[in-house]
């Protein structure tokens, strides 16, 4: 079945450092790809998404590019802030399923940014 693998955490960086969180996927079709963020004690918020190969999703300084050839969707940010501390989840959904978007999540990567 479809699956998502994220780099293991936790990841600890200093403020203004460059961030990369790796994500690779396995899917039989051409899934849509997502990054969700979860702040402490809260639900998940959609950070960005891409629906086809070579699409770049971006939001709040974060970017991720849908790479079909490497089945990857790595999350990057050029200069992180303390407020970016959270757990980040990579996910996919199979657009072949009409009228539904079943999300398959990775295990999450905890990010801590130190001032």
Partner 1 sequence: EAEVAQSPRYKITEKSQAVAFWCDPISGHATLYWYRQILGQGPELLVQFQDESVVDDSQLPKDRFSAERLKGVDSTLKIQPAELGDSAMYLCASSGNTIYFGEGSWLTVV
Q: Given the rule CB under 8 A, which residues bind partner 1?
A: 4, 36, 42-46, 49, 89, 91, 93, 99-103, 105-108
- What are the φ and ψ backbone dihedral angles of 29, each rounded to 5 degrees? -110, -145
In whole angstroms, how close is the CB of 37 to partner 1 at the nearest point?
11
Q: For strand 109-114 and strand 11-14, is the pairing parallel, antiparallel, or unpaired?
A: parallel
Distance (Å, rounded) from C-alpha 21 to C-alpha 63? 11
Distance (Å, rounded) from C-alpha 11 to C-alpha 5? 16
In whole angstroms, how close is the CB of 60 to partner 1 at the nearest point?
16
Per-position b or e across 69-91, b if 16+ CB within 10 A of its CB: eebbbbbebeebeeebbbbbbbb
In whole angstroms, how close is the CB of 16 to partner 1 at the nearest point?
28
In whole angstroms, how close is the CB of 48 to partner 1 at the nearest point?
11
């Amino acid at each position: 079945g479809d699956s998502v693998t994220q780099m293991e955490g936790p990841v600890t960086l200093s403020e203004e450092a460059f961030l990369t969180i790796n994500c690779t996927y396995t899917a039989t079709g051409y899934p849509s790809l997502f990054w969700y963020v979860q702040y402490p004690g809260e639900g998940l918020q959609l950070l960005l998404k891409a629906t086809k190969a070579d699409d770049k999703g971006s939001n709040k300084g974060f970017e991720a590019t849908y790479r079909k050839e490497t089945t990857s969707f790595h999350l990057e940010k050029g200069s992180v802030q303390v407020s970016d501390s959270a757990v980040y989840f990579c996910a996919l959904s199979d657009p072949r399923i009409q009228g539904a978007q079943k999300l398959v999540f990775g295990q999450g990567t905890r990010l801590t940014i130190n001032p």
